[in-house]
A = this chain, B = another copy of it.
Amino acid sequence: MATSDAEALVTSHDPNHPANLICELCRKFYTLGWVTGTGGGTSIRHEDKLYIAPSGVQKELMKPTDMFVMDYESKDYLRRPVNLKPSACTPLFLAAFTMRNAGCCIHTHSQWAVLVTLLCERTSEPNVFSISTLEQIKGIPRGYGPEKAGNLGYYDTLRIPIIENTAREEDLRDTLEGAIREWPDTYAVLVKRHGIYVWGKDVAQAKTQCESLDYIFQLAVEMHKLGIPWVKQ
């Protein structure tokens, strides 16, 4: 692809163009403490292309020209910025895109997510975070397809699977795909001592779920400190 074509892929005055939107989202996520120290990542599927933030950069300073662009069908890069490395999260983002038809996938290192996995490590169910009877649970979809339309209700129990972390981020692929298969309704997977992957059909659904989950994780840590059980008895 000619250089000018590769530039055109990330050049737009529309603030909702994926290359602009990823930069704006990451600035917001930085102030929330989700992607500091170059951690985390974000990817958007737009028509037949994937837009992916690069690896190892200051996430609040990214520019549209830092974006990697991949052809969704062939998985070939249409655009690879010189001097930048593709995100190690790419195979994990692809799992959400291909297995759950996601439109956006967000990976954060939220401290509340990490603390929740550490607290679950000590329970009899270290591989799932469960919480019930909180209004904010309504921010999370019930599952996929017409018979699971709509969001969870107040009396439902939200369950998010937790997978083991691996030495290399790419190596999470198999267990992440396994968790997605094992939990066919989930829109998120926690990674032990690491963070979380959250996706949705579009940017708004992925981002607002990320917010709802982080709210719930922070509340869960405070509830634990105050001796209040996560699942109402």
Which single residue of chain B is at the shortest CB-CB distance from A132? Answer: B193
A212, B33: Cα distance in complex, Å: 10
In the complex, which residues 193-226 of chain A have their Cβ closer than 8 Å to any Cβ of chain B? 193-195, 204, 207-209, 211-212, 214-215, 218-219, 221-226
Q: Known: A193-B134, A204-B58, A223-B118. Contact between A37 and B155, CB under 8 A?
A: no
Q: Is A67 an interface residue (CB 8 A)?
A: no
Q: Known: A165-B154, A193-B133. Contact between A139 and B37, CB under 8 A?
A: yes
Contact B228 A135 (CB under 8 A): no
Q: Is A231 an interface residue (CB 8 A)?
A: no
Q: Is A114 an interface residue (CB 8 A)?
A: yes
Q: Helix, strand, loop or mixed for chain A's interface? A: helix
In the complex, which residues 164-178 of chain A have their Cβ closer than 8 Å to any Cβ of chain B? 165-167
CB distance from A11 to the nearest CB of B (A): 21
Q: Is A45 an interface residue (CB 8 A)?
A: no
Q: Is A188 an interface residue (CB 8 A)?
A: no
Across the A-B interface, give the 3 residue pairs with the lowest CB-CB distance, nearest first. Answer: A37-B212, A135-B194, A37-B211
